Amino acid sequence: MRQSHQLPLVGLLLFSLIPSQLCEICEVSKENYFRLQPLISTMISSKYTRGIQASNVLLSLRLVGIQKQDTEQRLIQQIEENVKSRSSDLTSGQVALIILALGECQNPDERFIYDNNLVSQLETKFQAEVENMGAHNCTPLTNYYQLSLDVLALCLFNGNYSIRQVAELFNPENKNYYFSGQFSVDTGAMAVLALTCVERKGQIETDGEYLNHIKKHKKSLVKKILSEKKENGLIGNKFSTGEAMQALFVSSEYYNKNEWNCQQTLDTVFKEISQGAFSIPIAAAQILPALVGKTYLDINKDSPCVSDPDFNSPTPKPTSERYTNSPSNILVHYSVKINRTYSTNVAVLNGSVFLNVMEAAREKNETIFRFTVEESSWGPYITSVQGLKANNNDRTYWQLLSEGKPLSQGVGSYVVHDGENLEVRWSTY
């Protein structure tokens, strides 16, 4: 078994000093916490009952110091039931998120991690990812975002991993950082967080060569992340910006201050919040920590949970339902593109999402427009159309488009508009 990387006393003291020495952090002032209430309301009041979303939300709430006992107990119950009912089916990244959420700060439910050997399970699942890469042209069972979560959780919770292996796997030129030829900002950002943890816990005497590789990887990834910064301050898109901010917080030694205007990013995110951009729990959970200057590296399993009184005073009002109550119908054009294109016009209720359009098309022609769907932490996603299944080893998937442009929202969250041209396209990444 590989050596567990644990810090000696001197290393621990140095580790505790690193954030204040290296991190460049901007955050919303306490006077502006009211601007975060829509996110908190979405996380606490929305009716989310599916799988791994509970882990994302619990982790975010604990990280920023929001303590709502009834909400926590409901989330913990969902997480534990999910583990007990489908432990062998959980992906490596899902197990990693469960460990991070249940293990954040000292609490009674962290015993669940150890009673169910979740860290050992994660070690096994992570190695299965690596083995699949060896057998299938460097393609993991899941994706590099999940592999980064794996390494982060193993690093923070003293699991076994090889620094050499991490240095080799996370080379910035690896194809797994790209999706349809586009650099994935959230994947790169999560890799930076994982590599930072590994770097901090490494020992120069024994791991110096690989730690140097890791530093070079981080520098390159930070450059790629900043290259995706938009004129309005968003990095990648609004959903990847939160994790990109976390990565930049812990990597300020790799870029100049004039390369990123954090206040501009905050202002644009606040505007997006006011327009309801983060209306599903996982989107709210992933943006919130960075807005208050927190990163996943702030997870502290050795100290009691700390409540922030500025977050725990008023109870947020329930969020509005995704679907509107308007009885009017809209007409949209829907296509499936494989080797040829199959199209139809369908009428759906105003306020419907992409999935409703696909369902309406299927009712018109089961043969041409049949599809299957599965739940993920970001909601439902399309696994097959006309019986043609997405395959991770072949890097194939079903891409969602509007007016010929890829969508950044999922099939269950993108609200369609009258006269819109929608398409699902068989694609590779």
Q: Does 142 appear as a known binding residue?
A: yes
Sign of CA dihedral 325, 326, 329, 334: negative
Q: Are 153 and 100 in contact (CB under 8 A)?
A: yes
Q: Is 286 annotated as a binding residue?
A: yes
How far is Cα 298 from Cα 343, in angstroms, rounded to an integer?
49
- Annotated binding residue 145: yes
Q: Is 177 annotated as a binding residue?
A: no
144 annotated to bind ligand: yes
- Which residues, other chains included, contact 4 with Cβ-Cβ below 8 Å and sequence gap of 6+? 158, 159, 160
Environment class of 222 (CB within 10 Å of its CB; exposed 0-12, middle 13-18, buried 19+)? buried
The rounded distance, in Å, linking the Cα atoms of 96 and 170 is 18
143 is in an annotated binding site: yes
- CA separation for the pair 195, 425 (Å, rounded): 35
Distance from the Cα of residue 307 to its chain's centroid: 24
The answer to whether 174 is annotated as binding is no
Whether 407 has a binding-site annotation, put simply, is yes
342 is in an annotated binding site: no
Determine if residue 381 is labeled as part of a ligand binding site: yes
**Residue 113: partners with Cβ closer than 8 Å, 6 or more residues away:** 98, 99, 102, 103, 119, 157
- Listed residue (293, 292, 288) closest to 239, CA to CA: 288
Contact 43, 284 (CB under 8 A): yes
Q: Is 186 annotated as a binding residue?
A: yes
Q: Is 429 annotated as a binding residue?
A: yes
146 is an annotated ligand-binding site residue: yes
Q: What residues form the annotated binding site for cyanocob(III)alamin?
A: 142-146, 186, 237, 286, 381-382, 398-400, 407, 429
Q: What residues form the annotated binding site?
A: 142-146, 186, 237, 286, 381-382, 398-400, 407, 429
